[in-house]
């Protein structure tokens, strides 16, 4: 019976890690959108390009 609980605990831990990873990814994505908006407002093309590249990379990993 101990092995079943250990396996269940492992699956629960994996699920918790997946939920946390998704929450962190969404938080970073929202932060990037805000930073991109700020770069556009300032006319900062270099930051805009760097931030959009990071956003695109983040989206590619999330798919």
Residue whose pair of structure tokens reads 């989206």 in the numeric block? 59
Q: Is the pLDDT of residue 7 over 90?
A: no
The residues near 41 (Cβ < 8 Å, ≥ 6 apart) are none
58/60 Cα distance (integer angstroms) = 5
Rounded mean pLDDT of 3-26? 87
39 in Cβ contact with 20 (< 8 Å): no
35 in Cβ contact with 51 (< 8 Å): yes
This prediction has a pTM of 0.79
Token pair recorded at residue 1: 């019976």
Q: What is the pLDDT of residues 25-41, one digit of tens each?
A: 999 999 999 999 999 99
């Amino acid at each position: 019976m101990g092995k079943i609980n250990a396996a269940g605990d492992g699956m629960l831990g994996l699920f918790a890690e997946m939920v946390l990873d998704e929450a962190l990814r969404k938080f970073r994505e929202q932060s990037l959108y805000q930073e991109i908006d700020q770069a556009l407002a300032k006319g900062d093309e270099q930051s805009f390009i760097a931030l959009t590249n990071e956003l695109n990379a983040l989206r590619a990993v999330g798919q």
